[in-house]
A and B are shown apart, each in its own frame.
Chain A
C-alpha cells in the first residue's frame, strides 16, 4: 500500500488555558491518499475550519500527530512548515484572497515566487498555462481587483495549483458565487483532479456539491461521525 498523502492520528485541538480551555477537536483520525477528491461537511462550529487549519499547517495540534507523506510535522520549525506548505499544499478560500496589487498572472505565480524568491520566465509560462486552463487566457495582466467574482475564484484555483502541490485544500470555494459560477468552479476542481491527480479536500455546506465528491467526511462537534465513499468511478 502506498504511503498516504496525509495522515492524522488522534489529533486534538484545544483553545484557551485552564478552566476556560475548550476542546474543539476530540481525537481525529483521518487518512487521505493521493488523487482523492473528498468533501468535508458539517454544521458550523463543528470544527471544520480548525481541522482545515491544522491540515493546512497554519496551526499546530494540541495533541496527536499530523503526517504529511509519512513525515511528522510536529518536529518541523516555523520556516520548515512554511516551506512544506508551499510545496505540498495549495489553498482555495471562500473569499478569493487574491492580492489586489498584483495582476492575475502574478497572483498565480505567487506561491512559486514566495518559495524561490524571484520570478522566472518558467513561472510566467506556468501561470499562463494555468490561467488558460481555468478559462482566463488573455487576462494575465489584469489587476486582481478588476476581475469578476467567478474570475477571481478561478485565478485563486490556478494559484493553488501553481506549485503543482499533491493536495489542495478548498474552504467553501464556491460559497461566495452564484450557482452557475459555482458549478463552473467546481467542475474545474474536478477536472484538475482528473487530469493532474491532485488530491482535493473541499469544505462545503452545499450538499449538492458534496454529493459530487468521491468521499464525504462529516464532522459533528469535533468528531468524525461519517466517512463514506460515494459515486466511485463517476
Chain B
C-alpha cells in the first residue's frame, strides 16, 4: 500500500468516532439520493408505461381537408369568414406503399394499419356509441398489447368476432360468447360474437373501444380497401416526436406522436425530474460540506502529525494525497453504506405498498453512479483541507 494510503487509512481508523459519524452522514445523503432516484425513476417509467400501454407512439392520418377560399384578384373586398369543411372519414392514399416506407424507417419498431370510425353497439334494449377499430390482430398487438389486458375470453377479432371493453360489456349486459350488433352511419350493420373483454385501465376506452377485423370495419365504415390511420411503435420512445416530424415532412400526412398528445404529462414529468435533480444536488452539496468540514477539523487535529511527516521528509504532494485519499475513502465507505441503505429503503417501500403502485427502478448503474459520485465529491471536498495540510509549516507545528 502506498505510504499516503497507509497514513490516510490510519488517520481514519484512529479518528474512529469522527469517521463513523461522517460516513453515516454521507450514507444518509447517498441513501436519500438513491431512494429518491429509484422512486421517481420508477414512478415516471410506470406513468409512461401506463400511458403508452394503451396508445400507439405515433398515429399517421390523412391530412385535414381544408376549405379553399376562392379569391377574385380583381375584387376590392375579401370576405375573411371561411367556413371550415366538415371532415369525412378518408383513407390514406396509397397506404400499402406508405406502410412499406414507414416500416423501413430505422426508428420504427412496429406498425399496424387500421380503420377507425364511429358506430353504435346494440344489444336488446341497450345501444351505446362506440369507436370501431378494425385491425389486423397480430400486427396491432405489437403496438398495444390488448391481449395482455383481457379479463375474459380470448383476443380474437374477425368478420364475426369482436373484443370489447369491460364497461361496454357491462352497459350492454354482454358476456363472452354473447352476440352484439354493430351499426354504422349509412345503415350498415353486422352481428359479432363477443370473443374477449379487456380492461385498458381507462373508463373511457373501456366504454368505447370495440375491436373487429380490418375487413369488416372497412365494409361497415364504407372504406373498402382503405385504412384511416397507421399506428406506429418506435424503438426509443422519446424519439417519437422527431420521427413523427420526419414522417409528416416526408409524406404530407398528419403524424402525431404520443409526446404531442400527452404534452401535459411530459411537462409534469420534466418538472418532476428538475425538482428531484435540485433535491439531489443539494443533498450532494451538504454531503460535500460535511466531508470538507470534518477534514478541515482533522487537518487542525493532525497538525502535529503533519508537521512530523513533513519534517521526516514527506513531500507536500504526499501530505496532500493523504487528505485527498481520506476524502475519497470517506465518500466511498459512506456511499457504499448509503447505496445499501437506499436499496433497502426502496425494497421496504415496495413491500409496504405491496408492489401495487409501481416498481422502483434500481439499476446497477444507479448504485455505481451514486458511489462514484460520492467518492468524487469526497475527493473534491477534501481539496481545500488537503491544500491547507500541504501548506502547514512544519516549524510552527513542531515548535508549537
Contact = CB atoms under 8 A, between A and B. Distances in A.
Interface of A: 49, 53, 56, 58-59, 78-79, 82-83, 85-87, 91, 93, 97-102, 106, 110-111, 113-119, 159, 163
A58 B315 contact: no
Interface string B378-400: 00000000000000001100110
Given A82-B316, A101-B13, A56 B399 contact: no
B2 interface: yes
Nearest first, the 6 closest Cβ-Cβ pairs linking A and B are A86-B313, A114-B314, A101-B10, A101-B14, A113-B3, A111-B312
Contact of B313 (A98, A111, A119): A111
Contacts of A101: 7, 10-11, 13-14, 305
B278 interface: no
Interface string B291-308: 000000000000011011
B61 interface: no
A10 B4 CA distance: 39
Nearest to B319: A114
B311 interface: yes
B92 to A, nearest CB: 74
8 contacts: A79-B316, A86-B312, A91-B312, A110-B309, A114-B313, A114-B314, A119-B3, A163-B313
Nearest to B305: A99
A56 B313 contact: no
Given A58-B311, A83-B315, A110-B309, A53 B399 contact: yes
Interface residues of B, number: 27
Interface of B: 1-4, 6-7, 10-11, 13-14, 304-305, 307-316, 318, 394-395, 398-399
Contact of A117 (B2, B11, B307): B2
A86 to B, nearest CB: 2
Interface of B, helix, strand, loop or mixed by DSSP: helix
A101 B11 CA distance: 6
A83 B395 CA distance: 16
Contacts of B395: 53, 58-59
A184 B366 CA distance: 62
A58 B308 CA distance: 11
A117 B318 contact: yes
B311 A56 contact: yes
B5 to A, nearest CB: 9
Contacts of B307: 97
B319 to A, nearest CB: 9
Contacts of A59: 395
Contact of A58 (B10, B316, B394): B394
Given A101-B11, A119-B6, A87 B313 contact: yes
B309 A99 contact: yes
Contacts of B305: 99-101
B304 A97 contact: yes
Contacts of B304: 97
A115 B399 CA distance: 23
A168 to B, nearest CB: 12
A114 B2 CA distance: 10
A159 B6 contact: no
Nearest to B12: A101
A171 B81 CA distance: 104
A59 B395 CA distance: 7
Contacts of A114: 3, 309, 312-315, 318
A93 B1 CA distance: 28
Contacts of B310: 82
Nearest to A100: B14
Nearest to A113: B3
A53 B398 CA distance: 10
A85 B311 contact: yes
A93 B311 CA distance: 11
A124 B12 CA distance: 23
A220 B307 CA distance: 28
Most buried by B among A85, A99, A102: A99
A82 B315 contact: yes
A163 B307 CA distance: 18
Contacts of A56: 311
Contacts of B394: 58
Nearest to B400: A95
Given A117-B3, A118-B3, A119-B3, 6 more contacts: A79-B315, A79-B316, A87-B313, A99-B10, A114-B318, A118-B2
A5 to B, nearest CB: 18
A97 B309 CA distance: 10
B3 A49 contact: no
Best-surrounded residue of B10, B305, B311, B399 (most CB of chain A within 10 A)? B311
Nearest to A90: B312
B314 A82 contact: yes
A119 B3 CA distance: 7
A98 B2 CA distance: 20
Contacts of B10: 99, 101-102
A117 B322 CA distance: 12
Contacts of B312: 86, 91, 110-111, 114, 159
A136 to B, nearest CB: 19
A114 B314 CA distance: 4
Contacts of B399: 49, 53
Nearest to B310: A82
A87 B314 CA distance: 11
Given A58-B398, A113-B6, A83 B1 contact: no
